[in-house]
Chains A and B, each alone.
Chain A
């Protein structure tokens, strides 16, 4: 079985974000740390563990982006991925989620992937769209937000969050799309030796032409969703500190919640 893992490189969760201009999105150069999307780490770890358990023969990671994301791709290779495909083309710029899904689906098809892992969402946009879109484009079933997984021969059994703390158990044949949640596993750290070894692994680069993608279906040409009018979060009114003894503070708080904020 061939496993694919789609990784997105995103600003680290603790980095400051600066808006570059109303229609320019964020200032990439002001982001001090770019990392593999935290949820994608669970996807990668699960894939590598399946390979280590001899349930998969090959793990390939797919990422869309320019040369500079090869640093994070090398990290994925150091953590146990066998191969990496970087997807870059000026025609890809400005893709919406559907455009991204079209690129990733074409790339996964070209590599003959049977089981395709994603993070449950990328923490830049929190869209949670790409995995299900890819599943539809491939004509495959999907199991999303998985925190426990069993793979046996040609089928999978997965536990997923169904809200309010309850779990849904889903069975599906392979090929399939899976998106991963925290709790599925403990992602490993890469060590220096593995990083050195990973330098020998090759990162393939592919564009629209290599994948047979119509340039009008991806990038800003194919995007139905466009973001504009970027700005800072709306200012919150200044807060109020409540003084006095605990009993007094609590009385005042409840009165404010009821009469001023009107939430009780």
Chain B
């Protein structure tokens, strides 16, 4: 039976993702200081002490730090053996979704996915998560040790760190021989966060009417606050935005602090992807549109009039 919480801290070429800080902060609330971190690949592990990790396990060297699944499984397996935690936390990121189920199957562990909250109860950690696209919620109880939970990005605030530098422990792991190989990458020219991790999203719907309008109204509005542009399926199917931008049941499930829906009716399949957003803004010409029932702030108006004004106002912010 292990103890403490091990947080898998993801980074992009050395800079830690916001989710790493969110999870470390929450882990500290739950395990009062008994928190360690795992960093795979080259990044400044010691700096995670400021966010509450007392020990940082690092797996680096040849074969580690890339995106391939077999190496990540080997790295996390080695870290679990070294840290012997009661609980492992990770972001519900596309990467974690690829390697954690494999790891859970290899070690015979319970994996609770897509939690939006965690609490300590009776000496265990219990998750809470949306089910059926947020139409219901349930507790997630895991009986294995360690128990593994993945948490949706932006579920917890990032708290200012107080700790000093963490102790860094290098973990030796053998890089496996790869059967499936990443042979290429086709990069989009985007520098914003992926929809699933974005803290702010501005989406456009069918009423945007054309790809040109999407590019001249939705994208610049999003850019004015560093938001990731999104779209409804109707907008994607009409070719205004690529499928990677689709939010909803057959697109991406998102969990930002701010979601702005421009000319989106609020169909149940769209809500399925964004209803857990903390603040929802809706702009729609139809005062009866379903989206207004879920909006924190609503404006009945034309997106082509409101959009540019809003952009101006946001660009003027300091």
- Cross-chain contact B297 with A253 (CB below 8 angstroms): yes
- Cross-chain contact A126 with B181 (CB below 8 angstroms): no
Q: Which of B53-61, B81-89, B274-282 contacts A (4 or more CB under 8 A)?
A: B274-282
Main secondary structure of the interface of B (DSSP, over half): mixed
* A128 CB to nearest B CB, Å: 5
- Cross-chain contact B292 with A133 (CB below 8 angstroms): no
- Cross-chain contact B179 with A172 (CB below 8 angstroms): yes
- Cross-chain contact A247 with B309 (CB below 8 angstroms): yes
Given A164-B188, A239-B295, A257-B279, A142 contacting B180 (CB threshold 8 A): yes
Closest partner residue, chain B, to A120 (CB atom): B97
In the complex, chain B residues whose CB is within 8 Å of the CB of A251: 313
Given A159-B186, A172-B179, A182-B243, A129 contacting B104 (CB threshold 8 A): yes
- Cross-chain contact A172 with B298 (CB below 8 angstroms): no
Q: What CA separation (Å) do A249 and B307 show in the bound complex?
A: 11
- Cross-chain contact B97 with A98 (CB below 8 angstroms): no
- Cross-chain contact B185 with A168 (CB below 8 angstroms): yes
- Cross-chain contact A127 with B184 (CB below 8 angstroms): no
Given A141-B179, A165-B188, A19 contacting B142 (CB threshold 8 A): no
Q: What CA separation (Å) do A77 and B242 show in the bound complex?
A: 32
B109 contacts chain A at the CB level, 8 A cutoff: yes
In the complex, chain A residues whose CB is within 8 Å of the CB of B103: 136
Main secondary structure of the interface of A (DSSP, over half): mixed
A194 contacts chain B at the CB level, 8 A cutoff: no
- Cross-chain contact A169 with B111 (CB below 8 angstroms): no
B15 contacts chain A at the CB level, 8 A cutoff: no
Given A125-B113, A246-B305, A263-B200, A225 contacting B180 (CB threshold 8 A): no
* B199 CB to nearest A CB, Å: 8
* B154 CB to nearest A CB, Å: 11
Q: What CA separation (Å) do A103 and B203 show in the bound complex?
A: 40
* B191 CB to nearest A CB, Å: 8
Could you count the A-B residue pairs with CB atoms below 8 Å apart for me: how many are there? 263
B220 contacts chain A at the CB level, 8 A cutoff: no
Q: In A149-183, which residues have CB < 8 Å from any B CB?
A: 157, 159, 161-173, 176, 182-183
Q: What CA separation (Å) do A171 and B69 show in the bound complex?
A: 13
In the complex, chain B residues whose CB is within 8 Å of the CB of A164: 188, 190, 192-194
- Cross-chain contact B102 with A132 (CB below 8 angstroms): yes
Q: In A83-135, which residues have CB < 8 Å from any B CB?
A: 96-98, 101, 123-135
- Cross-chain contact B132 with A166 (CB below 8 angstroms): no
Q: What CA separation (Å) do A237 and B280 show in the bound complex?
A: 11
* A76 CB to nearest B CB, Å: 18
A226 contacts chain B at the CB level, 8 A cutoff: yes
B1 contacts chain A at the CB level, 8 A cutoff: no
Cross-chain contact of A17 among B136, B139, B267, B309 (Cβ < 8 A): B136
Given A125-B131, A126-B253, A264-B317, A229 contacting B94 (CB threshold 8 A): no
- Cross-chain contact A163 with B196 (CB below 8 angstroms): yes
In the complex, chain B residues whose CB is within 8 Å of the CB of A241: 287, 292, 297-300
Given A162-B185, A251-B313, A263-B257, A132 contacting B250 (CB threshold 8 A): no
A250 contacts chain B at the CB level, 8 A cutoff: yes
Interface string of A51-75 (1 = CB under 8 A from B): 0000000000000000000000000
- Cross-chain contact B249 with A13 (CB below 8 angstroms): yes
In the complex, chain B residues whose CB is within 8 Å of the CB of A224: 108-110, 142-144, 147
Cross-chain contact of B292 among A125, A239, A246 (Cβ < 8 A): A239
Q: Which of A25, A165, A227 has the most CB of B within 10 A?
A: A165
Q: What CA separation (Å) do A165 and B281 show in the bound complex?
A: 24
- Cross-chain contact B305 with A226 (CB below 8 angstroms): no
- Cross-chain contact A232 with B137 (CB below 8 angstroms): yes
Across chains A and B, which 10 residue pairs bring their CB atoms closest together, nearest first? A224-B110, A165-B188, A141-B180, A132-B101, A172-B180, A169-B184, A163-B194, A136-B105, A17-B135, A229-B139
Can you list 26 A-B contacts (CB < 8 A)? A14-B268, A26-B132, A124-B131, A126-B114, A132-B69, A136-B102, A144-B98, A165-B190, A166-B186, A169-B183, A169-B185, A170-B181, A170-B182, A227-B131, A227-B140, A228-B139, A232-B136, A233-B275, A236-B296, A241-B292, A246-B306, A247-B309, A249-B299, A250-B299, A256-B297, A261-B258
| A interface list, Cβ under 8 A from B | 11, 13-14, 16-17, 19, 25-26, 38-39, 96-98, 101, 123-137, 141-145, 147, 157, 159, 161-173, 176, 182-183, 223-234, 236-237, 239-242, 246-247, 249-251, 253-254, 256-258, 261, 263-264
10 extra A-B contacts, CB within 8 A, seeds A250-B310, A253-B297, A254-B314: A38-B250, A98-B104, A164-B194, A168-B182, A224-B109, A230-B136, A233-B135, A257-B258, A257-B297, A263-B258
